[in-house]
Amino acid sequence: MEQYIMKGGNPLVGEVTVSGAKNAALGILTAAIMTDEDVLIENLPDVRDINVMLEAIEEIGARVERVDRHTVRINASTIQEISVDDEYIRRIRASYYFIGALLGKYKSAQVPLPGGCNIGSRPIDQHLKGFRALGGDVRIEGGAVIVHAIDLVGSHIYLDVVSVGATINIMMAATLAEGLTILENVAKEPHVVDVANFLNSMGANIKGAGTDTIRIRGVKKLHGTEYSIIPDQIEAGTFMCAAAVTRGDVMVKNVIPKHLEAITAKLLEIGCEVIEFDDAVRVVGKPVQRHTDIKTLPYPGFPTDMQPQMTVTLALAAGTSMVTESIFENRFKYVDELARMGSCIKVEGNVAVIDGVKRLTGAQVNAPDLRAGAALVLAGLAAEGVTEVDEIGYIQRGYECFEEKLQGLGAMIEKVDSEKDAQKFRLKVG
Ligand code: UD1
């Protein structure tokens, strides 16, 4: 079983380049099947979730050509199936985007219903509400969502909760509906805007992405395009926290600083130095960092996907911090693992009260999910001694070359898959 093993205690210093945004790419890849013409997508992150999504796209009959590691050409003129295999939804929840894409293009889709996951129950009622409003007949049968529409017709839809997935999914279907769709109370995340820009580059008519209301004027068909995905806001934020928690000095390159404002604001509050450039941010950690309070919120609020990395940073800040998780119900599982490293955090409901400690010490811990896994690696890099993080398959779902990028910043970290290699690492680092 693969694990990361690391010896912490050294400040991370240097430059790191952020990959393309995984969550934007998941939406964009599915949207790419909505035309029969060639679509070239660049700056694709080479991570597990994306590779599984590409397999799923091939599985329903589209042609997928890997132009290079980060570029793919998709041609969906050969799609024969409007039904997606259960295996893919189990491996990536975001394959629910096939519902919107297939419904828009073929007026029909059959996709297994995703279950809950490690961070809590994740209903898709808002997605289904949107498809119904567009004229889709939505049934749940045999564990799958089955949607058919004779005609998809634009509608006025108000989302009851701000949902990234529902916004993107409904937007895709509405792109090929007849007439105007007005989607209100939508998510404003950078990847929602990126998917909208991508669809517009295929001939869609979407206005207002990035605000609370999106207007979609349906078009008859979409055409081919070439598109480059935005940088990953969460990967960038993770390296920013890595600089802070190890008291390092890291230039995080290939970012859109505006997308990082919520993270930057919190790092400034705790006393870090954050310097913004056109497409980079430099974070300089300070020997003594202060406590702060955080509440996760939809964009432009503090992202839930950065909650664990920031909690780790606060675990080593002076004073008492409070982190409130308002998006997902079960996103503090990693706190028990962190406790094994000497942190002092009490969780009650959706609030973690963090009493900052002076030092963490290495331990063997388990990654419970993607972002918490990355956060435990940050804790290991800040801790004294050797830390082993197990279940790193979660981390590889969303971080490209995580250990190589950290090594480039001077981290003593390796990916090993046997006790013998782990032992070798321990001997090497003393
Ligand atoms: C996306 C991101 C995920 C991120 C999350 C919140 C992708 C592939 N994943 O997930 O990394 O953590 O946004 O920023 O982009 N909800 C409902 N009904 C619905 C849909 C959502 O009640 O139909 C609730 C959810 O339970 C959650 C909240 O709305 O409490 C936000 O979820 P949502 O924005 O939909 O998350 P995802 O799109 O699944």
* Prediction pTM value: 0.97
Sign of CA dihedral 308, 311, 316, 317: positive
Q: Is the CB of 187 under 6 A from ligand 1?
A: yes
Rounded Cα distance, 176 and 419, in Å: 54
Mutate to test the pocket of ligand 1, among 119, 140, 161 (most ligand atoms within 8 A of CB): 161
Other C-beta atoms closer than 10 Å to the C-beta of 348 total 8
- Return the residue whose CA atom lies nearest to atom 7 of ligand 1: 23
Q: Which residues of 381-407 are buried (b: 16+ CB within 10 A; e: fewer)?
A: bbbebbbbbbbbebbbbbbbebbebbe
Residue 329 CA: nearest ligand 1 atom is: 30
For residue 160, give Cα distances in angstroms to 128, 152, 183.
Answer: 12, 22, 11
Q: Is the CB of 227 under 6 A from ligand 1?
A: no
Length of the chain: 430
- Return the residue whose CA atom lies nearest to atom 31 of ligand 1: 163
Nearest-10 crossing angle of helices 125-133, 164-175: 20
Active site residues: 117
Q: Which residue has the tokens 């690391």?
A: 6
Residue 126 CA: nearest ligand 1 atom is: 23
What tens-digit pLDDT sequence spans the chain (430 residues)?
899 999 999 999 999 999 999 999 999 999 999 999 999 999 999 999 999 999 999 999 999 999 999 999 999 999 988 999 888 888 888 999 999 999 999 999 999 988 667 777 788 999 999 999 999 999 999 889 999 999 999 999 999 999 999 999 999 999 999 999 999 999 999 999 999 999 999 999 999 999 999 999 999 999 999 999 999 999 999 999 999 999 999 999 999 999 999 999 999 999 999 999 999 999 999 999 999 999 999 999 999 999 999 999 999 999 999 999 999 988 999 999 999 999 999 999 999 999 999 999 999 999 999 999 999 999 999 999 999 999 999 999 999 999 999 999 999 999 999 999 999 999 999 8
Q: What is the pLDDT of residue 281?
A: 98
| Contact (Cβ atoms closer than 8 angstroms) between residue 229 and residue 28 | yes
Q: What is the pLDDT of residue 118?
A: 78
- Return the residue whose CA atom lies nearest to atom 19 of ligand 1: 124
| Contact (Cβ atoms closer than 8 angstroms) between residue 24 and residue 194 | yes
- Return the residue whose CA atom lies nearest to atom 39 of ligand 1: 165
Q: Which residue has the tokens 């949207």?
A: 31
